[in-house]
Amino acid sequence: MKVTSINVNGIRAAARKGMFEWLAKERPDVVCLQEIKAQEEQLTDALFYPEGYHHHFHSAERKGYSGVAIYSRREPDEVIVGLGWPDVDAEGRYLEARFGNLSVISLYVQSGSSSEERQAVKFDFMARFMAHLREIKASGRDYIICGDWNIAHKEIDLKNWRGNRKNSGFLPEERAWMDRLFGEEGFHDAFRLVNQEEDQYTWWSNRGQAWAKNVGWRIDYHVITPGLKDRVLSADIYTAERFSDHAPLTLVYDYPAWAAE
């Protein structure tokens, strides 16, 4: 089972840069998009509804902002739109597709880089979301939570870690939250289960020569429940083409139930 996640920084912009042609060649089973920046009624071109895929969108109320989507080759048994939290759901940050005992989530965690107020919103979300994560882990279902978590976990996960210790995305409180997520809460960073190398980034600032010099951050993840730990076969960050300021993150799982059901 092949699952791809990408923050597209505008689905229409990514489409113009050839993302859907790339997906047609790669043929992932599930595609999770974040920051689509569009309502579904604005996506009139057939390109946005590729043949062989079911599509589900959760757009932000504000046009041109945030929003998530899931494309899947198999029709979900159920789709859960939002968390039931009005402030978060208004920004289109959570979409869950259920396939048998597997849930795949497209998640877009807030950035706190624009202001102290937005960082406070991010911390509030993180506190509430940890409780939600506990609930889903206790459900006994398998979960793959794909998306832009807007936090680099460890020093290996960003190039200039020394200079970013006081910046949103690498704050001590954010990193401690990730320690807890991947520690006592029992979730796994699927990418790091199969790739421990340095310079593995998924986002690059548009300032300076960040992309050219590979001065990046790894802030996009597949976060998985314990039952999937031994099912991660491979992980790939695609950088041969650039569809966004983020790169597609694709993981392959040994998940026979996907094919059987």
Would you mind telling me the total number of residues written for the chain in this entry? Answer: 261
CA-nearest of 206, 174, 61, 191 to 109 is 174
Cα–Cα dist 52/31, whole Å: 12
pTM of the complete model beyond 0.75: yes
| Contact predicate 250/236, CB 8 Å | yes
List phi, psi (to 5°) of 98. Answer: -110, 130
Q: pLDDT digit string (tens) for 129-182?
A: 999 999 999 999 999 999 999 999 999 999 989 989 999 999 999 999 999 999
Residue 260 reports pLDDT greater than 80: no
Does residue 179 have an active-site annotation?
A: no
Domain residues for the domain of 15 are 2-260
Considering 148, 157, 189, 220, which one is annotated as catalytic?
148
Per the structure, how many domains does the chain have? 1
Residue 256 reports pLDDT greater than 90: no
Q: How confident is the model at residue 207 (pLDDT cuts 50, 70, 90)?
A: confident
Q: pLDDT digit string (tens) for 98-130?
A: 999 999 999 999 998 888 999 999 999 999 999
Residue 261 reports pLDDT greater than 70: no
List phi, psi (to 5°) of 42. Answer: -85, -15
Read out DSSP for 169-195?
TS-HHHHHHHHHHHTTT--EEHHHHH-
CATH code where residue 93 lies: 3.60.10.10
* Tokens matching residue 7: 């923050």
Q: pLDDT digit string (tens) for 44-99?
A: 999 999 999 999 999 999 999 999 999 999 999 999 999 999 999 999 999 999 99
One-letter amino acid at 151 equals: I
CA-nearest of 29, 36, 26 to 6 is 36
